[in-house]
């Protein structure tokens, strides 16, 4: 750590500690660091997944009721749900197609990213249920959704689910999804526990 960090902030008070993220080789490491004006940053303490969730939960003041379609909920920035199959409006570049029959889908939000998977059966999945992609590499990179001409939600929590669905379904696709090509991309459990 050779970077100097100023201890002043834009509100009245001073920095006493911070959660910092470092890249060590190809691995991301989270450390809780303490600050003092004489030493600078000191006393690094590694933070694991459960501690990160506890930190996120401790900053939350809102209690939310979970919709029936919820699959997992770890925090306001880490949760998943499923959506039944439905015919919806679709926007595809250079296409006059206006509707598309979307299969049942799984959505997982993690730290502002949306991960998706299609389901062959139109019922609530289990962690072992296989998921697929029908979108091709241009619109879903492995399981991570790309957005074109839509905005991701600015808030957090399950109240943003309709906004995440709009961001995905109302996005402009590069080409029409293909219901004849179901590419396996793991299980519901592997998508929802990233």
Tokens read off for 164? 């995440």
Which structural domain, as residue segments, surrounds residue 27?
1-47
> Which residues, other chains included, contact 122 with Cβ-Cβ below 8 Å and sequence gap of 6+?
84, 85, 103, 104
Asked if 32 and 84 sit in the same domain, the reply is no
Asked if 112 and 185 sit in the same domain, the reply is yes
- Domain membership of residue 56 (yes or no) is no
- Domain membership of residue 88 (yes or no) is yes
Alpha carbon distance 153, 151 (integer Å): 6
Q: What is the pLDDT of residue 153?
A: 87
- Domain membership of residue 57 (yes or no) is no
Asked if 29 and 87 sit in the same domain, the reply is no
Tokens read off for 35? 């600050």
Comparing C-alpha atoms, which of 104, 108, 102, 121 is closest to residue 70?
Answer: 108
Alpha carbon distance 144, 116 (integer Å): 6
Q: What is the pLDDT of residue 10?
A: 41
- Domain membership of residue 132 (yes or no) is yes
Q: Is the overall model pTM greater than 0.85, yes or no?
A: no
- Domain membership of residue 82 (yes or no) is yes
Asked if 155 and 77 sit in the same domain, the reply is yes
Asked if 37 and 124 sit in the same domain, the reply is no
Asked if 99 and 155 sit in the same domain, the reply is yes
- Domain membership of residue 11 (yes or no) is yes
Helix, coil or strand: residue 157: coil
31 burial type by CB count under 10 A (0-12 exposed, 13-18 middle, 19+ buried): middle
Asked if 36 and 76 sit in the same domain, the reply is no
Q: What is the pLDDT of residue 128?
A: 97
Q: What is the pLDDT of residue 144?
A: 79
Segment-wise mean pLDDT, segments of 10 residues, the chain, 194 residues: 45 75 82 86 81 68 79 91 96 90 95 93 97 83 76 87 93 90 94 88
Asked if 22 and 70 sit in the same domain, the reply is no
Asked if 89 and 12 sit in the same domain, the reply is no
Asked if 99 and 163 sit in the same domain, the reply is yes
How many structural domains compose the chain?
A: 2
């Amino acid at each position: 750590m050779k970077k100097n960090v100023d201890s002043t902030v834009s509100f009245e008070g001073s920095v006493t500690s911070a959660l910092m993220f470092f890249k060590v080789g190809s691995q991301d490491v989270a450390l809780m660091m303490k600050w003092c004006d004489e030493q600078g940053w000191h006393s690094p303490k590694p933070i694991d997944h459960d501690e990160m969730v506890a930190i996120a939960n401790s900053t939350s003041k809102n209690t939310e009721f979970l919709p029936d379609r919820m699959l997992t909920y770890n925090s306001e920035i880490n949760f998943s749900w499923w959506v039944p199959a439905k015919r919806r409006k679709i926007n595809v570049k250079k296409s006059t197609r206006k509707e598309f029959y979307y299969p049942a889908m799984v959505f997982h939000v993690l730290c502002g990213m949306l991960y998706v998977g299609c389901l062959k059966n139109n019922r609530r999945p289990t962690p072992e249920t296989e998921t697929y992609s029908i979108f091709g590499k241009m619109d879903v990179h492995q399981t991570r959704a790309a957005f074109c001409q839509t905005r991701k939600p600015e808030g957090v929590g399950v109240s943003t689910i309709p906004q995440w669905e709009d961001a995905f379904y109302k996005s402009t696709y590069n080409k029409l999804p293909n219901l004849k090509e179901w590419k396996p991309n793991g299980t519901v459990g592997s998508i929802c526990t990233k």
